[in-house]
Amino acid sequence: MWDVRIRCLDHLVLTVVDPAATIAFYERLGMRREEFDDGRLALRFGEQKINLHRAGSPIQPHARRPTPGSADVCLLVEGSLDDVERELERAGVVVELGPVPRTGANRRIRSLYLRDPDGNLVELAEPI
């Protein structure tokens, strides 16, 4: 047994076909575009970020099979999920499922599911 304890998530990586389209999508969810190091791109929210790797040009080291559209992520929203749903409807964003009750990391949540430009499943949720 290792004596290692994980404190929190710092960042994760999405492999994407079109970084500009991905950034535009997640900026509409309140994330901020960030450029770091030698022009690498990320999306910042709270104390976390999502680094973006362009498909076919991943940064070393990388996942064994970096593939656009293979992620499934749950993001907690600020405010009401009902308000989020209305905003998505006004913007013409297709909601695949929801709102539905789910079990989050620390409590029950209510979730909406949609897809980003690469087909990654994005779950937007509020605690209930």
Tokens at residue 115, please? 């897809």
Total domains in the chain come to 1
Let me know if residue 19 belongs to a domain.
Answer: yes
CATH number at 98 reads 3.10.180.10
Neighbours of 26 (CB within 10 A): 22
- 89, 96, 123, 126: the catalytic one is 123
Beta-sheet strand order (sheet of 48-54) = 11-16, 48-54, 40-45, 32-36
- Domain extent at residue 36: 11-127
Q: Name the one residue in this structure whose structure tokens are 């070393």.
A: 60
- In this model, does residue 48 exceed pLDDT 80? yes
Give residue-wise pLDDT tens across range 73-85: 999 999 999 999 9
Give residue-wise pLDDT tens across range 12-45: 999 999 999 999 999 999 999 999 998 999 999 9
Let me know if residue 1 belongs to a domain.
Answer: no
**Residue length of the chain:** 128
Neighbours of 128 (CB within 10 A): 13
Q: Is 123 a catalytic residue?
A: yes
